[in-house]
Amino acid sequence: DGGITQSPKYLFRKEGQNVTLSCEQNLNHDAMYWYRQDPGQGLRLIYYSQIVNDFQKGDIAEGYSVSREKKESFPLTVTSAQKNPTAFYLCASSSFRLAENNEQFFGPGTRLTVL
């Protein structure tokens, strides 16, 4: 079955530690995205990538970093510079850059708690 996987589902880290969240897709999608969701809030875009070896900052990129070395993979690193990292992190992908109705498919998410 094609889809998007994120691991781990729950992650606990101590304040001041960097942590990397995994996102893998086997849908052959060009575009991948990282979002953050806080309780009672909508999804906010952290980073996105439309092609391998290229990525762009979203609305809240400060304190985060990404890489896109393979089409299938788009890991997100939450650095110690992120002031309030505890949140639900969602990875998504979509098939075409310029298709008008390129809906996104989401992974199951990672709940990060920084203690």
Partner 1 sequence: RKEVEQDPGPFNVPEGATVAFNCTYSNSASQSFFWYRQDCRKEPKLLMSVYSSGNEDGRFTAQLNRASQYISLLIRDSKLSDSATYLCVVNDLQGGSYIPTFGRGTSLIVHP
Site residues, partner 1 (CB under 8 A): 31, 33, 35, 40-45, 48, 50, 56, 58, 88, 90, 94, 97-109
Q: How far is the CB of 63 from partner 1 (least distance, A)?
A: 20
The Cα 68–Cα 80 span in angstroms is 21
Closer by beta carbon to partner 1, 65 or else 104: 104
Closer by beta carbon to partner 1, 59 or else 69: 59
Q: How far is the CB of 80 from partner 1 (least distance, A)?
A: 27
The Cα 105–Cα 72 span in angstroms is 14
Q: What is the DSSP string of 51-102?
A: ETTEEEE-TT-TTEEE--SBTTB--EEE-TT-S---EEEEEEEES-SS-TT-
Question: What is the CB neighbour count within 10 angstroms for residue 115?
Answer: 8
Closer by beta carbon to partner 1, 16 or else 40: 40
Q: How far is the CB of 66 from partner 1 (least distance, A)?
A: 15
Closer by beta carbon to partner 1, 27 or else 79: 27
